[in-house]
Amino acid sequence: MTMLDLNNKTILVTGCCGFIATNFIEMVVHEYPTCKIWAIDKNMNKNMQVWDNSSNVTYWEACVEEIEIFDVCVYMKYNGNIDYIFNFAAESHVDNSINSAKDFLSNYSSTMNLLDIVVHLSEIGKPSQMVQISTDEVYGHHTDMGTTSVEDSPLCPRNPYSASKAGCDLLVESYVQTHDIDVLVTRCTNNFGKYQFSEKFIPTIINSLKSNNNIPVYGTGQNVREWIDVRDHNKSILDILTNHKRGVYNVYGGTPKTNLELISDILEVYNTLSDDDLPKTIKKDVKFVADRKGHDMIYSITSKRYNRSFDLTPYEESLEDLVKYNMKNETVDN
């Protein structure tokens, strides 16, 4: 199988300053030098430095839910068709969704707006294929390691964030059935890699080590997540697009870790670094804090529809690269 070639294509990437999208754009800029990228985000941050100097990237500071179909048509008049739309835009921090669920309604309205744009482009004879970047969290959780979710498993979100993403997935399906447009959904396990926001768990661990603070852990630290290098996630998106136009596709990671195991793995890498890379004193204690409301226990997915055509980067290699990178670079505030 040959991965989708984006050379000489024009793509629209929403949420371009976010963690996964930043890595996606970096991949496209390096691997597909003749691809034109229209990048949209409401928040400018230092992630823009990754691709801001590329002549192939045009940045539009805007809320995705407020983009006008007219503006897209004007863009296409002067820049040609948009071949693919990648919707990475989403409020994604579970704690924030618990504290203020209404802020996550924008996930639904943003997706609806993009779908309306895809419908309009199809009606005027300039169809675009859209990818909705979802999450394995829409399936809810499992309570033992012997169970897993596949693409046709019931949706059972257990917090406002995952509920908003499940709603987006259902909205996509309704538009596909109603308007006969080409939109697919990818649901991936937990990502890790460069440019992740400081509020997330792995940056929190590394920043705690850098600042010589205890590492905060919810509950007992036995919650399990499957991990995948963000670069492999983004390659999987193009891999899926090679032969598929519609439907839901799980992007599985295959490396399950409890939160305490993940901390141990990071410490193992940390201890191999040279003294010049480390603070003089290291506090490696875990500080257990009150558990998150409705904290999902285990995420586990496999796929009935997607057979990956490439080998994943070994977890240990990816984690070592990330720890070394984050020791020398500040994480990003959302």
Q: Which residues pair with 319 in a beta bridge?
A: none
Q: Is the pLDDT reported for residue 302 higher than 90?
A: yes
Q: Is the pLDDT reported for residue 294 higher than 90?
A: no
Q: Residue 167 is which amino acid?
A: G
Q: Is the pLDDT reported for residue 245 higher than 80?
A: yes
CA distances from 137 to 22, 141, 155, 186 (A): 21, 7, 9, 12
All structural domains of the chain with their residue ranges: 10-195+227-252+299-309
Q: DSSP string spanning 42-62?
A: S---GGGGGTTT-TTEEEEE-
The pTM of this model reads 0.93
- Across the range 5-25, mean pLDDT stands at 95
Using pLDDT thresholds of 50, 70 and 90, give the confidence band for residue 78.
Answer: low
**Residue 74 or residue 219, greater confidence:** 219
Q: Residue 108 and residue 89: Cα distance in Å, rounded?
A: 10
Active site residues: 136-137, 161
Any idea which of 36-45, 71-80, 187-196 has the lowest mean pLDDT? 71-80
Q: Residue 213 and residue 203: Cα distance in Å, rounded?
A: 13
Q: Count CA within 13 A, CB hemisphere, residue 60.
A: 16
| Residue of 125, 126, 132, 122 whose CA lies nearest to 64 | 132
Q: Is the pLDDT reported for residue 126 higher than 60?
A: yes
- Would you say 64 and 14 are in contact if contact means Cβ atoms under 8 Å apart? yes
Q: State the pLDDT at residue 81.
A: 86
Q: Give first-to-last CA distance, the chain, whole Å.
A: 37
Host H or E run for residue 287: strand 286-289
Using pLDDT thresholds of 50, 70 and 90, give the confidence band for residue 283.
Answer: low
Q: Is the pLDDT reported for residue 198 higher than 80?
A: yes
Q: What is the mean pLDDT of the chain?
A: 90
**Residue 97 or residue 5, greater confidence:** 5
CATH node for 10-195+227-252+299-309: 3.40.50.720
Cα-only R_g, the chain: 20
Using pLDDT thresholds of 50, 70 and 90, give the confidence band for residue 19.
Answer: very high
Q: Is the pLDDT reported for residue 69 higher than 90?
A: no
Q: Is the pLDDT reported for residue 253 higher than 90?
A: no
Q: State the pLDDT at residue 275.
A: 59
Q: Residue 193 and residue 190: Cα distance in Å, rounded?
A: 10
